[in-house]
C-alpha cells in the first residue's frame, strides 16, 4: 500500500525492556521524522533523518535511538523503556525539512508499565 | 516562552458560524506555516500551508499570515459538526533550517 505505515498500532511493555517502533514510507521522501504526542505538550520532535545514514536529534532525544539504513524505513528504538515514555508516537515523512508539510503515519500508542 | 503558542480551547461555535483559530510564534526567521487537523485518536492531517503575508483561501478554509506581528490564523467558514477536532499550528523556525515545530493545538467544537 502507498503511504506511510507504522507498526505496531498499540504496544504495552514493561519498564526496562527494549522496544522498537517501525515506520515505512513508499514515497521515497528524503526526510523522515519521529514525534511524540503528550497531553499538554503537543507534538515534540524526537529525531529526524535527511537521508539514509543521516540522522539528527530533535527536542527530546534522550532514551531513544534511530537508524536509517534504507530510505523507506526509519525505526525508533527505546533502549530501556521508562514510564515517562508512555505516549503516542507518530512517524512522518516529507520531501523537505521545512518547505512542505509533513505526512503522518497513523501512530503507535505505547504504554510502559 | 514556547516557540509556537495556541489557546488550548475548547473553542465552541454554532453550526454555520465562522471559527477563528489563532497562533503566535517566537522565531522571526520562521518561513513556512501550516495548519493541521487532528481528530480524536487519529493522526494529524495537513489542511493548509501559507508562506507569505496575507490571506490564502481553500474552500471553507482561509489561512492568514502576519509576519510583522508573528501571527498566523485559520478561519473556517460555515462550520460543520464534522469540523470538530483539534487544530495544530506548525512553523518552520530558523529560516527553514529546523524541522516543524508544533503548537499544542486548539480544540474546536461545532455545536449542531
Evaluate if residue A29 carries a pLDDT over 90. yes
Q: What is the Cα Rg of chain B in Å?
A: 13
**What is the distance between the terminal CA atoms of chain B, rounded to a whole angstrom?**
36
- Name the pairing type of β-strands A108-112 and A87-94: antiparallel
Rounded to a whole number of angstroms, the CA Rg of chain A reads: 13
Q: How far is B35 from chain A (nearest CA, A)?
A: 9
* Residues forming a β-bridge with A64: A78
- Which of B88, B67, B93, B64 lies closest to B1, judged by CA? B93
User: Percentages helix, strand, coil for chain A, rounded to the nearest 5?
Assistant: 5, 50, 45
d(CA B72, CA A91): 25
Q: Which chain B residues have a beta carbon less than 8 Å from that of A107? A: 42-43
Say how far residue A101 (Cα) sits from the centre of its chain: 16
Share of chain A above pLDDT 90, in %: 90
Which ranges in A14-80 belong to alpha helices (H)?
A: none
A/B interface, count of CB pairs below 8 Å:
57
Q: Do A35 and B102 touch (CB under 8 A)?
A: yes
A97: exposed, middle or buried (C-beta count within 10 Å: 0-12, 13-18, 19+)?
Answer: buried
* pLDDT band, residue A82 (cuts 50/70/90): very high
Contact at CB, B102 and A97, closer than 8 angstroms: no
User: Which one of A97, A98, A104 has the shortest CB-CB distance to B43?
Assistant: A104
Average pLDDT estimate for B68-94? 96
Contact B92 A90 (CB under 8 A): no
Comparing CB atoms, the residue among B43, B92, B104 nearest residue A42 is B104
Instruction: Tell me the β-bridge partners of B23.
Output: B72
Q: Write out the residues of chain B at the interface with chain A, using a CB-CB cutoff of 8 A.
A: 31-32, 34, 36, 42-46, 49, 88, 90, 92, 96-105
Beta bridge partners, A48, equal A33, A56
pLDDT of residue B93: 83
Q: Which spans in B1-112 are helix H?
A: none
Residue B99 has pLDDT above 70, yes or no: yes
From chain B, the residues in CB contact with A35 under 8 A are 102
CB burial readout B26-45, b (16+ within 10 A) else e:
ebeebbbbbbbbbeeeebbe
Grid cell locating B53: 503575508
Residue holding cell 474546536?
B108
Interface of A with B (CB under 8 A): 33, 35, 40-45, 48, 58, 90, 97-107
pLDDT band at B48 (very low <50, low <70, confident <90, very high): very high
* Interval B46-64 mean pLDDT: 97
- Which tens digits make up the pLDDT trace of A40-54? 788 999 999 999 999
**And the C-alpha cell for A11?**
504496544
B100/A41 CB distance under 8 A: no
Which chain B residues have a beta carbon less than 8 Å from that of A42? Answer: 88, 102-105
Instruction: Name the grid cell of A3.
Output: 503511504
> For chain A, how far is it from start to end, CA to CA, in angstroms?
33
DSSP three-state, residue B40: coil
CB contact under 8 A, B36 and A100: no
Amino acid at each position: 500500500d502507498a503511504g506511510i505505515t507504522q507498526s505496531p498500532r498499540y504496544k504495552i511493555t514493561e519498564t526496562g525492556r527494549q522496544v522498537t517502533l517501525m515506520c515505512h514510507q513508499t514515497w521515497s521522501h528524503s526526510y523522515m521524522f519521529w514525534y511524540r504526542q503528550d497531553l499538554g505538550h503537543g507534538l515534540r520532535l524526537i529525531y529526524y533523518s535527511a537521508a539514509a545514514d543521516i540522522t539528527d536529534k530533535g527536542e527530546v532525544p534522550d532514551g531513544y535511538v534511530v537508524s536509517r539504513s534504507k530510505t523507506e524505513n526509519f525505526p525508533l528504538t527505546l533502549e530501556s523503556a521508562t514510564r515517562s515514555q508512555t505516549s503516542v508516537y507518530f512517524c512522518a515523512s516529507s520531501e523537505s525539512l521545512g518547505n512542505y508539510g509533513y505526512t503522518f503515519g497513523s501512530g503507535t500508542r505505547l504504554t510502559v508499565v | 516562552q514556547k516557540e509556537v503558542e495556541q489557546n488550548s480551547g475548547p473553542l465552541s461555535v454554532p453550526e454555520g458560524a465562522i471559527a477563528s483559530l489563532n497562533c503566535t510564534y517566537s522565531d522571526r526567521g520562521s518561513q513556512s506555516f501550516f495548519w493541521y487537523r487532528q481528530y480524536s485518536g487519529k493522526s494529524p492531517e495537513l489542511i493548509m500551508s501559507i508562506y507569505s503575508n496575507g490571506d490564502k483561501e481553500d474552500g471553507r478554509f482561509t489561512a492568514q499570515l502576519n509576519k510583522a506581528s508573528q501571527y498566523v490564523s485559520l478561519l473556517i467558514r460555515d462550520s460543520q459538526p464534522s469540523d470538530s477536532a483539534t487544530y495544530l499550528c506548525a512553523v518552520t523556525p530558523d529560516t527553514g533550517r529546523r524541522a516543524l515545530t508544533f503548537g499544542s493545538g486548539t480544540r474546536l467544537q461545532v455545536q449542531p
